């Protein structure tokens, strides 16, 4: 299976500025609205840090891209057969509360809610006991 490298960029709670980012090789690019749960050494499975995809940024490179292309310069069928490629795919996410959110992650987001920040919750019930 061919994998695609993405950079998951997690926003600061309640802001649009990035907090941290992590690289992943995934079978496909997550779509806007997708739920993502990440576990690591500080949050062993099944506990996770959860987020919702808000934007996907495609950074592309093309070998014949002219700096100033005007509509009259573009002729159907006159383009190069060279294909461009992605240089970076950024998956921008907002912190959320999922069913397996670690206690630390859940506490942090519930504290933000008490301060009036809107925090999304996954549309599923928590089926595990607290960590």
pLDDT tier at 12, thresholds 50, 70, 90: very high
Contact 56, 92 (CB under 8 A): yes
Domain ranges of the chain: 4-66+83-121
pTM for this predicted structure: 0.80
pLDDT tier at 96, thresholds 50, 70, 90: very high
Higher pLDDT, 85 or 124: 85
Dig out the tokens for 91 from the structure.
């998956």
Q: Which CATH architecture group holds 4-66+83-121? A: Roll (3.10)
pLDDT, tens only, 29-63:
999 999 999 998 888 878 999 999 999 999 999 88
pLDDT, tens only, 67-78:
665 555 555 655
């Amino acid at each position: 299976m061919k994998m695609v490298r993405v950079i998951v960029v997690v926003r600061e709670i309640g802001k649009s500025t990035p907090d941290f980012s992590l690289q992943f090789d995934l079978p496909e690019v997550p779509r806007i609205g997708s739920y993502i749960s990440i576990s690591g050494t500080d949050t062993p499975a099944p506990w996770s840090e959860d987020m919702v995809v808000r934007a996907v940024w495609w950074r592309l490179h093309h070998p014949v891209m002219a700096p100033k292309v005007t509509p009259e310069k573009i002729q159907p069928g006159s383009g190069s057969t060279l294909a461009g490629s992605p240089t970076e795919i950024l998956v921008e996410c907002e912190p959320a509360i999922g069913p397996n959110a670690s206690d630390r992650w859940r506490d942090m987001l519930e504290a933000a809610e008490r301060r009036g920040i809107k925090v999304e919750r996954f549309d599923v019930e928590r089926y595990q006991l607290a960590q």
